[in-house]
């Protein structure tokens, strides 16, 4: 059983923080370490195993926890965080549970794809956000994503892990090797977007960034 599968079993028991001795997050490889202005990417990794893309990332945001959480859970305005996301629509809102449609557009060299995810989102009091992709709709045959948001002094630390299996052809020579480089750039965009929005007054409605071709983010399936 891989690490994400083990965590998935743990999360079925409400992601009790005493049982979660790990930090995994969702967003493909974004460099082993790097910085973007005040925020920084602490760790990132992407792996590929039998069609599954396994993602692991950790970042620090130069903004307080309450404001970062508010921005990250504003599911109707995900487009304001990263221009790769061209549409985000809350289909069902029954806190702490949500159903969200997310559409992204990305290109890697000659390979371009518009991808749709139907996300079942559950917010847990322990700071975890669990996302399960609905495989009856969208472009993924499997998808499990996990965010963890926690205070780090007067800053915020975000961890993300994911296991995704895309329901479309990905050129085998592109795979994780090329995706890792493009996704590194996407990680930095995400850090910058979170910090930019977190610095705005809460009553300002975030504006979507102009869409630009970006990285592919393949989805996973159960092992």
Q: How many domains does the chain have?
A: 1
Q: Among 38-42, 98-102, 105-109, 156-160, which is the least confidently predicted range?
A: 105-109
Q: Give the structural domain span for 15.
A: 3-198
**Is residue 125 very low, low, confident or very high in pLDDT (cuts 50, 70, 90)?**
confident
Arithmetic mean of pLDDT over the chain: 73
Report if residue 214 sits inside a domain.
no
Distance CA 29, CA 101 (A): 23
Residue 151 maps to which CATH number? 3.30.530.20
Q: Which phi and psi angles does 177 have, rounded to 5°?
A: -60, -50
More confident residue, 179 or 93: 93
Report if residue 72 sits inside a domain.
yes
Q: How many residues are there in the chain? A: 223
Report if residue 26 sits inside a domain.
yes
**Residues 192, 36 contacting (CB under 8 angstroms):** yes
Report if residue 210 sits inside a domain.
no
**Is residue 49 very low, low, confident or very high in pLDDT (cuts 50, 70, 90)?**
confident
Mean pLDDT for the stretch of residues 211-218: 35
Query: Tell me, what's the pLDDT at 53?
Result: 82
Alpha helices by DSSP H, the chain:
3-11, 65-72, 175-198
Query: Tell me, what's the pLDDT at 7?
Result: 47
| Helix (DSSP H) and strand (DSSP E) numbers for the chain | 3, 9
Percentage of residues in the chain having pLDDT higher than 90: 35
Report if residue 220 sits inside a domain.
no
3-state secondary structure of 3: helix
Report if residue 213 sits inside a domain.
no
Kindly tell me if the per-residue pLDDT of 34 is higher than 70.
Answer: no
DSSP secondary structure of 67-128: HHHHHHT-GGGGGGT-TTEEEEEEEEEETTEEEEEEEEEEEETTEEEEEEEEEEEEE-TTSE
Comparing C-alpha atoms, which of 20, 71, 63 is closest to residue 40?
Answer: 63
Report if residue 207 sits inside a domain.
no
More confident residue, 211 or 39: 39
Mean pLDDT for the stretch of residues 31-49: 62
Query: Tell me, what's the pLDDT at 176?
Result: 62
Report if residue 209 sits inside a domain.
no
């Amino acid at each position: 059983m891989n690490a994400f599968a083990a965590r998935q079993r743990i999360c079925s028991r409400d992601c009790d923080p005493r049982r979660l001795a790990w930090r995994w997050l969702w967003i493909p490889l974004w460099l082993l370490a790097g910085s973007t202005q005040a925020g920084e990417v602490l760790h990132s990794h992407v792996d590929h195993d039998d069609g599954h893309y396994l993602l692991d990332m950790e970042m620090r945001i130069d903004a307080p926890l309450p404001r970062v959480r508010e921005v990250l859970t504003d599911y109707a305005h995900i487009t304001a965080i990263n221009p790769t996301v061209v549409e985000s629509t809350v289909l069902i809102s029954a806190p702490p549970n949500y159903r969200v449609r997310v559409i992204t557009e990305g290109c890697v060299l000659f390979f371009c794809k518009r991808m749709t995810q139907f996300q079942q989102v559950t917010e847990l009091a322990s700071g975890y956000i669990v996302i399960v992709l609905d495989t009856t709709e969208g472009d993924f045959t499997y998808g499990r994503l996990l965010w963890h948001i926690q205070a780090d002094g007067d800053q915020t630390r975000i961890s993300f892990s994911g296991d995704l299996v895309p329901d479309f052809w990905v050129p085998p020579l592109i795979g994780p090797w090329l995706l890792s480089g493009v996704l590194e750039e996407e990680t930095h965009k995400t850090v910058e977007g979170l910090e930019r929005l977190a610095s705005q007054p809460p009553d300002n409605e975030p504006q979507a960034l102009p869409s630009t071709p970006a990285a592919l983010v393949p989805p996973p399936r159960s092992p």
